Structure 1
Amino acid sequence: MIQREDIAYDLALVLLSVSLFILGIVLLIVCRKKPQKPDQKQEILPVKSCASTYQLTDIDAATDGFNHRRIVGKGSLGTVYSAISPRGELVAVKRIHPQLVLSNAGFGFASIMKALSLAQHPHIVPIIGFSQAPGERIIVMEFVGMVNLDFYLHENSDGASLLDWNRRLRVAAGVARGLEYLHQGIAPNIIHGCIKASNILLDVKFVAKLCDYGLSFLTPKEKRGLVGYVDEEYWGERGGSVCKESDVYGFGVVLLELLSGRRSEQGLLVRWALPLIKSKRLNELLDPRLVIPSDIKPFLRLAKVASACVGNYRKDRPSISQVASILNSLEVELRAEDEVVDRW
């Protein structure tokens, strides 16, 4: 009797082992052949295709023949128009000034535009496409209903109040992250070449985005618009030498504008602000149109960062990563304080 039970027990174990083995093989085959569902979530970084090439006739149609009523901005590089793309999307079209086109006729415009268009970050304005023809160079960018920082700080009568201290700190941190991405987050790295308030756009939520990055090749000898935003070494023997360090200098000037509400004034802002920062006379530095913040420590740190960006030679300047790290921490502290206030 006991022998029969032992045999039955052994047989059951064998059958169970065989069943598990077969089940394992079946599951392995099913898993290997199972198709990936389209809606299944995958941790894949977004890949952006390079800029599209547009025919000049398409650009002409999209801007109603470069109608002056579609002009949304003018700068040292060209005129910006609002336009409707062939896909029905609202875009911004920058038409490079004719004299700049002629002086860069043999330059690889298409290859540079394709490289720049690969940049993708929440704090930069994406380049969507481009067009080139004899005497014409066009850049097509995303249009998100933006106004530049220069307008808010220096032209709009309500701009100063709209840009309160909290928003100014967030703008500074956002620009730092965008510039850090250009300098280190994309290969090859991109030198902006002209960091200034008019090249920082603010959307309806006051999120800052850098535009006109990597376009300094169009104006290698241009001085208009750069004076006050580039360091003394830019005007040295080689001349026109833009680099990461010169971008950091321009960012430092923008920080001084955010703190003081004053224009760059062709370098006079830096000379006026540095002694005030050194002696910690923030009451004299901060924008008089706003009430001095109750907690002045974050803005003292911001002022010291600005001083380090503009008060040193290139070799002694902080990198934009170091700057962004400090500003990110200030923004986190500010957000935490806001959350505490909201709870009350």
Structure 2
Amino acid sequence: MKKLINNPTNVVDEMIEGYIKAHPNHVKQLAENKRSIVTAKETKDGKVGVLIGGGSGHEPAFMGYVGEGMADAVAVGNIFASPPPDPILEATRVIDKGAGVLYIYGNYAGDVMNFGMAAELADLEHGIQVGTVLVTDDVASAPKEEKEKRRGIAGEFFVTKVAGAASEKGYSLEELVSVANKANDYTRSMGVGLTPCSLPQTGQPSFELGENEMEIGLGHHGEPGVEKGELKTADEVAERLVADILVDMPIAEGEDVAVLVNGLGSTTRMELYIMFRKVEKMLSEKGITIHRSYVGDYSTSLEMGGCSVSIMKLDDELKELVDQTADCPMYVQK
């Protein structure tokens, strides 16, 4: 499993160095902590800061979504590992404009612990009020009645999009927490894994699947899914993913949604558009309108093969926010 790297120990820091040099008009690295990246553009006083973060290896998540209309800062962890409290706290201090900061991150034990510690320190040491939204969109990771235990996967893109737009519009911290939680509550995701990735430090596959096997519900770090079986056609896979989402979050005829078909790293655009074709057909047949669609690599797992489908149900407020422009190094919406 070949990779274009130097010393495996330095891959994250060298990636960040290259990223900052490639996008100096969008982002800057804080001298106080090299794992803290903030927007290069001055934000206005009274704006609630939006801070995201998590492990590396999911690019363009998370650092690709710092920019106008999205997040104001990101704390970068090691590969598939939460950032420690220090870069989170340093970024919080810099982006606070007197109205507080919202943390958005996936529901993983390390993230919950480290972002929680940073929030406490922000209040104790700097008097900064922090709100938190845990992303829990992965249908496969826990039953509906235990939704609070679910992992956050590609649906975090939608939550960040909504929160970033609301922050730009002048929402208060309390209002921002409310609308970002609504975006999370209205979002469901299901994925399928086809081939593993390998960590630079080990060069070994992150999990094992047979030559003609797939795994429904596989996690972004290789966590076990809900079912292994023979590889199916794109239409059959799409049917399964969408059906599981709609059972978990019923959507009525006439409702609007945003849809993301997300590649996990090595899946071609050809395959993703074939998947989207079936997703659109299924929703259209149920009288559900796709208001906005996103197809591509939005939250990857290094070079893992497979994809996920995320659907966010839209009310008038979410529709307005998801339509807002955004300008980030790895994502632009006009």
TM-score category (smaller protein): under 0.3
More helix by share: 1
Q: For CA contacts below 8 A with separation 6 or more, give which structure has more relative contact order.
A: 2
TM-score when normalising by structure 1: 0.27
Give 1 or 2 for the bigger CA radius of gyration.
1
TM-score when normalising by structure 2: 0.28
More strand by share: 2
